[in-house]
Structure 1
């Protein structure tokens, strides 16, 4: 191990010790159902009380708060997190500092708030959608259907941009340079899946894509990775012609999970054609 790695591990152990002490000192015995006995020199729980609640050895827990270089199992960290009443963010921070993988991570929420839905609607006639890191389309406005088709007509598991890009769909037909776009999506999907590979939804989507599309299988086997980036896309929409967009991602939370993607026209012609599509979509079906 290099000197920089050793120094980094030392810093992380010190941060872990300080974090545990701060969480311990904020909890009163009454909060965890312990009797108050004798006068306390410091606020919060004693180390032996945390060890008791977590069912771990007092010496071991003391070493943890003393930044000792000891092995920490995920089961013990889970018990300590419960004993210290850690919220989801604090729990995730504990496992990061301990250099361990959380056996019960807080999964990305698939829901979209009413406020986000209102925002998407207000963005019309610019196409916009809320998408998670797995490329599931969680919500969208009417203008977005001009590019990808009627999502409400699809089964929920098929409302996924990669699925639409690699199987027959309006999205695959209208997206210019679809091969380039697919390569980028696979690379970003692989990067995002690095720490989610055990999650059933991710494994299921990967299996379905590999079975449904030889093109996806070939791209997956290249092991390319990349990160989300803004850029340019072009769509050839039968009802309006060629549309040129800048697409921009706005994150819905502090982590790189859910985001709103907005397609803004790159030229006046695209802007006019979008306005036409918006009027066209609003006509009753029996009118010319």
Structure 2
């Protein structure tokens, strides 16, 4: 069976190739095209690699491209810095292990609980692992079963969450899907990630559409506006930090503005 991570590597190459036009990369349009984007042989030409080799990469075959090849593909496909980093992560060899739900060390848990503003800890899969009283007032994590405490699952399938973001929901949700994609692809094929992906696909047609585009974004700080059923309109700046104890743990803080 094909390595799921290699399959995602090939799918990502194809998605970027289909977004480029010959004009964008300085190639003549040539004869009439039946599909959008560049042809495989054109990408191979731009990257300076063999066509058969490129086809094997895009098909998700078990091949190991060098750093030089990855860099050449990134230039040929006009990848952003985030996309380039993602491509390198997918090409990396080595055992990944099986995902297990993280445990928040007591000192980090106490730190989160002591903060005055909404704050919570998430793991690799974006499961919410710990939170403070201020976050409970806004997000009500404690009212949910443990298996539903996942920030992407809540954003894509919870009517309450969708209503709280109002007209801005689609922009926030779409960016979150692209951010999660960067994490998921490295863990492609893992049972825990496959289970979450199945729930997202079953519960959100928008997720299915955006997931198919294979967009990738890095984690960014920013502002969010939400409408709370009793507190009214809330404006926050949000930012996140990794824990030195376990880089998989991420502290997210919402500061009122």
TM-score computed with the length of structure 2 as normaliser: 0.60
CA shift at 1:174, angstroms? 1.6
CA shift at 1:254, angstroms? 7.7
Indicate whether 1:144 and 2:135 are aligned. Answer: yes
- Superposed CA deviations along residues 81-115 of structure 1, whole A, max 9, x for unmatched, are xxxxxxxxxxxxxxx9xx6321x537465111111
Distance 2:67 2:103 in 1: 41
* Cα distance change, pair 232–256 in 1 and its aligned pair in 2 (3 A): farther
Q: Conserved in 1, the CA contact under 8 Å of 2:120 and 2:252?
A: yes
In structure 1, the gaps of 5 or more residues are 10-95, 267-288
May I ask how many residue pairs the two structures share in their alignment?
Answer: 175
- Superposed CA deviations along residues 148-192 of structure 1, whole A, max 9, x for unmatched, are 22x233222111111111223433222341111110111011111
The aligned residue for residue 204 of structure 2 is: 213
The aligned residue for residue 189 of structure 1 is: 180
CA shift at 1:218, angstroms? 1.2
RMSD: 2.9
CA shift at 1:258, angstroms? 1.8
Indicate whether 1:100 and 2:68 are aligned. Answer: no
CA shift at 1:244, angstroms? 1.0
- The DSSP-based 3-state class of the residue aligned with 2:137 is helix
Q: Conserved in 1, the CA contact under 8 Å of 2:178 and 2:216?
A: yes
The aligned residue for residue 242 of structure 1 is: 233
Look at both structures and tell me which one has the larger radius of gyration over its CA atoms.
1
Distance 2:154 2:67 in 1: 47
Distance 1:238 1:153 in 2: 15
CA shift at 1:146, angstroms? 2.5
In structure 2, the gaps of 5 or more residues are 1-46, 49-64, 70-88
Given candidates 141, 150, 156, the residue that maps to 2:146 is 156
